[in-house]
Structure 1
Amino acid sequence: MSDTLSAPAGATRTGAAAPARAARSPMRFLKPLLLLALLALLLVLPLYVEEFWLRTGFAVAGAIVGAIGLNLLVGTTGQLSLAHAFFLAVGAVSYTFISGESGGLGTRAVLRGLGLPPIVGMVVGVLLAGLAGLLFSPIAARLRGIYLGVASLGLVFIGVHVLNTWTPVTGGFNGRSVPEFSLFGFSFGNDDPQLFVLGVPFREAERLWYLGLVLALAAYVFARNLLRSRPGRALQTLRDSEVAASVMGVNVQAYKARVFLVSSMYAGLSGVMYALSIGSIAPESFGLTVSILYLAMIVLGGLGSVAGAALGAAFVTALPLVFQQFADVLPLVSSPGEGGIAAGIAARYLFGAAVILVVLFEPGGLAGFANRFRRRGRAPGRGSPSASPASAADRPTDTDPSDPPAQGSSTR
């Protein structure tokens, strides 16, 4: 009797699963095709757009790297940190000192520099930023929530003080210029050697665009693979419950230290790219406002989402620059020195309001909107969008009451 009843049930499950797989199969190929199309567009974009957009793109790429690193710490592991600006400063200052030349400053101090190749300065800057995060991790391992945020805030104040007073290295209040980046004799900061692609001269802006694209793509791929690996799942468990993670065999202290190391290295690389994009470093470039902006990036993009962090970074970084570029046609927005609202202030008003709206209506951020759009039209459960209510009733769900209880559970 039981054998007779089990066969139709199995047939029903198989028959219901087949349409669902068929409905999902086009999306399986659509997403890679869209990603390839986007990559192709980014590769050919320097051939058609102006220098302003290329420089903006490099600034966005640097912000994407830093936002992904902060998202690994805050969104994936659940450790609130306001010290991201400090780690950006470590990377930027280290690169400038290691690859810069010694010379006069015009004041009582003389700038110092090691004059090493820029790639060495970049690598060492990233490693020193990671080391700074690793040294701070024992404090982070003993604090949670707002207490960790306040403790990390102290690093920002320390960093600003050091930038202002360590004049031979940082240039003091006035800052110092950043050496151009080059790799194996190929310069990304000038026209030497001259390069033409399809008749388009590839100057500094075009070269930095491709440098930023490669670094941002590498940071994105590494973060995605990290979250899909065993350490990534351990970090997510750590965010949900430290007690549960410890019971499952996760070394809580060690994983907190590792994620601070990785996040700080991301920030160090972002600091190097930020220094290259503006051409100089100054104490005001690494204040508390920068840390707040990076928090806004990951909240707008979606906590725990790598793609969301990239979208949030693009929104927060590019918006002030776009407002400044089109200040003459935007209402209430003015160019520097004129009446009205400055472009940077107007942009902060806008993405400040966006943060409030996201927190109120879509805590998942831009990534949450994307997920909602992807699920739009689907019936609850595992069914396909075209399934009828009658067929949905026939489909099994994860909480099917006819399924036998799991071993060790009890029923009443």
Structure 2
Amino acid sequence: MSSLLASARQSVLARHLTAGLVAAVVGILVLSLVSEFRATQLAAMAYLGIAAAGLTLLTGLNGQLSLGHGAFMAIGAYTAALCLQDAEPLAPLPVILLAATAVAVLVGLVVGIAAARLHGPYLAGATLALAVAVPGLAIFWDGTLGGEQGLTVRVPDVPAWFADAVFFLTATDPTRGRYTAYVAWLVLVAVFVLLANLSRSRVGRTWRAVRDDEVAAELAGINLARSRVLAFVVSAACAGLAGALMALVVRIAAPSGFTLTLSLTLVAAIVLGGLGSLVGALAGAALLTFLPQLVTQFGGDLGLDDVRSAELAPLVYGVVMVLVILLAPTGLVGSLRTWRHRRAARSAQPPDPERTSTTHHNTTERARA
């Protein structure tokens, strides 16, 4: 039995690694072909997808609702910005990203322990207060964190080995802007592979058990508080890493970029895509990234001015969200998955003998006629 489980885990890991490798190569090729503006949009989709993936595991798999993930993104962004102030960064870029993730993990551990006994609206209220308070710290410590203007981020030079690898795959030399897009996409793929394996592991099954029935999970020997804290820490780590990538792509870390709207937007993304689904989180991030720009462009084509075209985007986004909630309550990916399962179950059902006999009788009668 243990050997069967081990082989199943290895097959799942191999499948995820293969999918991740294919996604990384395809992402690099696509980023090399699109314009600089589209590459920046894909980079924004990448860091929003990372933050939404962590949040969908917390809410969809563990059942905790957080409205403060924009605060963890701010923590990661300011940590990365402090390390990228000078012409020469304090450390290599992977180390800076890990440092931003570690700081977000520490803060998430403290908040997770404090919020482990909170449920439902109480947890949402606590994280909501966090989302409101954290951006204000940058104004309070304006000497270090830049106040309202924020901190300017200097993108490091493209490493020679990375430029050689990209040139080998795409026959193009990456610029600094495109380099950040490559990094964001590769980090997205790595995070999704790790989270996909985590959700299919024993930890993921524990989170689902706590979400479905806390009493039954506790009777089965699961430590509820430890499970909640671990889920919160993993989700905060994803948000901190996403914030660091956001600072790298946008090249600034300012309080205006981490308002309550960002936290609510992440919640809307996972609701649209489908709770508990990594693919749904990525689909929601894609909607957040591309839908406003498409709607604004459509408004300009209709003859609206720039202000009215910009105001049309949140209206259309709200209408889309209402339609998804009414027509696809489990999100876009969840509804698609449900439709596929129903179709497979319908095709797997044995034929009705009475209907088959009637059809055969009618066919025979038509043949005789």
Query: With structure 2 as the length reference, what TM-score do the two structures score?
Result: 0.83
Q: Which residue number corresponds to residue 309 of structure 2?
A: 341
For 2:34 and 2:84, the matched residues in 1 are separated by 31
- Select which of 287, 291, 296 maps to 2:259: 287
Deviations 1:37-91 (A, max 9, x none): 7665433223432111111001100100000011111111111111101000000
- Number of equivalences: 341
The CA deviation at 1:266 is: 0.2
For the structure 1 residues 170 and 241, does the alpha-carbon distance in structure 2 shift closer, same or farther, using more than 3 Å as the test?
Answer: same
Q: Is the 8 A contact 1:332 1:340 kept in 2?
A: no
Q: How does 1:75-94 map to 2 (within 5 A)?
A: 75-94=60-79
- Select which of 336, 340, 352 maps to 1:389: 352
5+ residue gaps, structure 1, are 1-30, 103-112, 394-412
The CA deviation at 1:183 is: 7.1
Q: Which residue number corresponds to residue 129 of structure 1?
A: 104
Equivalent residue letter for 2:277: S
Equivalent residue letter for 2:263: S
- Select which of 222, 226, 238 maps to 1:250: 222
For the structure 1 residues 185 and 392, does the alpha-carbon distance in structure 2 shift closer, same or farther, using more than 3 Å as the test?
Answer: farther
Q: How does 1:349-364 map to 2 (within 5 A)?
A: 349-364=315-330
5+ residue gaps, structure 2, are 1-15, 357-369
Q: Is the 8 A contact 1:98 1:114 kept in 2?
A: yes
Q: Secondary structure at the match of 1:340?
A: helix
Q: Is the 8 A contact 2:24 2:185 kept in 1?
A: no
Query: Is 1:98 the equivalent of 2:83?
Result: yes
The CA deviation at 1:197 is: 6.1
Q: How does 1:4-403 map to 2 (within 5 A)?
A: 41-101=26-86, 115-181=90-156, 200-324=172-296, 328-329=300-301, 331=302, 334-335=305-306, 339-342=307-310, 345-375=311-341, 377-380=343-346, 384=348, 387-390=350-353
For 2:224 and 2:314, the matched residues in 1 are separated by 37
Flag the structure with larger Rg.
1
For 2:276 and 2:166, the matched residues in 1 are separated by 43
Task: Report which stretch shifted further, 40-49 or 313-322.
Answer: 40-49
The CA deviation at 1:153 is: 1.0
For the structure 1 residues 181 and 65, does the alpha-carbon distance in structure 2 shift closer, same or farther, using more than 3 Å as the test?
Answer: farther
The CA deviation at 1:279 is: 1.0
Q: Secondary structure at the match of 1:147?
A: helix
For 1:324 and 1:75, the matched residues in 2 are separated by 32
Q: Secondary structure at the match of 2:118?
A: coil
Q: Which residue number corresponds to residue 106 of structure 1?
A: none
Task: Report which stretch shifted further, 345-354 or 271-280.
Answer: 345-354
Q: Is the 8 A contact 1:119 1:182 kept in 2?
A: no
Deviations 1:216-245 (A, max 9, x none): 111111111111111100001111121111
For the structure 1 residues 204 and 196, does the alpha-carbon distance in structure 2 shift closer, same or farther, using more than 3 Å as the test?
Answer: farther
Q: Secondary structure at the match of 2:300?
A: coil
Q: Secondary structure at the match of 1:341?
A: helix
For 1:98 and 1:240, the matched residues in 2 are separated by 42
For 1:213 and 1:358, the matched residues in 2 are separated by 27
The CA deviation at 1:270 is: 0.4
How much identity, in percent, do the aligned residues show?
A: 32
Equivalent residue letter for 1:300: L
The CA deviation at 1:356 is: 1.6
For the structure 1 residues 119 and 182, does the alpha-carbon distance in structure 2 shift closer, same or farther, using more than 3 Å as the test?
Answer: farther
Q: Is the 8 A contact 1:118 1:182 kept in 2?
A: no
Q: Is the 8 A contact 1:87 1:267 kept in 2?
A: yes
Q: Secondary structure at the match of 1:378?
A: helix
The CA deviation at 1:195 is: 5.4
Task: Report which stretch shifted further, 42-51 or 262-271.
Answer: 42-51
Equivalent residue letter for 1:51: E
For 2:304 and 2:30, the matched residues in 1 are separated by 28
Q: Secondary structure at the match of 1:363?
A: coil
Q: Secondary structure at the match of 2:344?
A: coil
For the structure 1 residues 320 and 187, does the alpha-carbon distance in structure 2 shift closer, same or farther, using more than 3 Å as the test?
Answer: farther
For 1:195 and 1:34, the matched residues in 2 are separated by 23
For 1:187 and 1:347, the matched residues in 2 are separated by 37
The CA deviation at 1:351 is: 2.2
RMSD (CA atoms): 3.2
For 1:323 and 1:196, the matched residues in 2 are separated by 37
Query: With structure 1 as the length reference, what TM-score do the two structures score?
Result: 0.74
